[in-house]
Chain A
Amino acid sequence: RKEVEQDPGPFNVPEGATVAFNCTYSNSASQSFFWYRQDCRKEPKLLMSVYSSGNEDGRFTAQLNRASQYISLLIRDSKLSDSATYLCVVNGYNAGNMLTFGGGTRLMVKP
Chain B
Amino acid sequence: DVKVTQSSRYLVKRTGEKVFLECVQDMDHENMFWYRQDPGLGLRLIYFSYDVKMKEKGDIPEGYSVSREKKERFSLILESASTNQTSMYLCASDPDGSSGNTIYFGEGSWLTVV
CA A95 – CA B88 in complex, angstroms? 23
B100 touches A34 (CB 8 A): yes
B43 within 8 A of A: yes
One digit per residue, 1 when the CB lies within 8 angstroms of any chain A CB and 0 when it does not, for chain B 77-93 equals: 00000000000001000
**Contact of B43 with A101 in the complex, beta carbons under 8 Å:** yes
Would you call A49 and B59 a contact (CB within 8 A)?
no
Interface size class of A (residues with CB under 8 A): 20 to 34
How close is B76's CB to chain A, nearest CB, in angstroms? 15
Among B41, B43, B48, max chain A CB count under 10 A is at: B43
Partner of A98, one of B40, B98, B107: B98
List the count of A-B residue pairs having beta carbons below 8 Å apart.
64
In the bound complex, CA of A91 to CA of B101 (Å): 10
Question: Is B95's beta carbon under 8 Å from chain A?
Answer: no
Tell me the complex Cα distance, A39–B114, Å.
26
Shortest Cβ distance from A92 into chain B, in angstroms? Answer: 10
Residues of B contacting A34 in the complex (Cβ-Cβ under 8 angstroms): 100-101
Chain A's closest residue to B57 (CB) is A95
Alpha-carbon gap, A4 to B34, bound state (A): 19
- Complex CA distance for A4 and B41, rounded to whole angstroms: 10
Nearest chain-A residue to B88 (Cβ)?
A41
Cβ-defined contact, A49 with B107, below 8 A = no
A96 and B40 in contact, given A42-B107, A43-B90, A43-B105 (Cβ under 8 angstroms): no
User: What 10 A-B pairs come out closest when comparing CB atoms?
Assistant: A101-B42, A43-B105, A101-B43, A103-B42, A34-B100, A103-B40, A98-B98, A91-B100, A99-B98, A32-B100
26 CB contacts below 8 A, A to B, read A4-B42, A32-B99, A32-B100, A34-B100, A42-B107, A42-B108, A43-B105, A44-B105, A45-B105, A46-B101, A91-B99, A94-B59, A96-B48, A96-B56, A98-B58, A98-B98, A99-B45, A99-B98, A100-B42, A101-B35, A101-B42, A101-B43, A102-B42, A103-B40, A103-B41, A103-B42
Give residues in A with beta carbon < 8 Å to B. 4, 8, 32-34, 41-46, 49, 87, 89, 91, 94-104
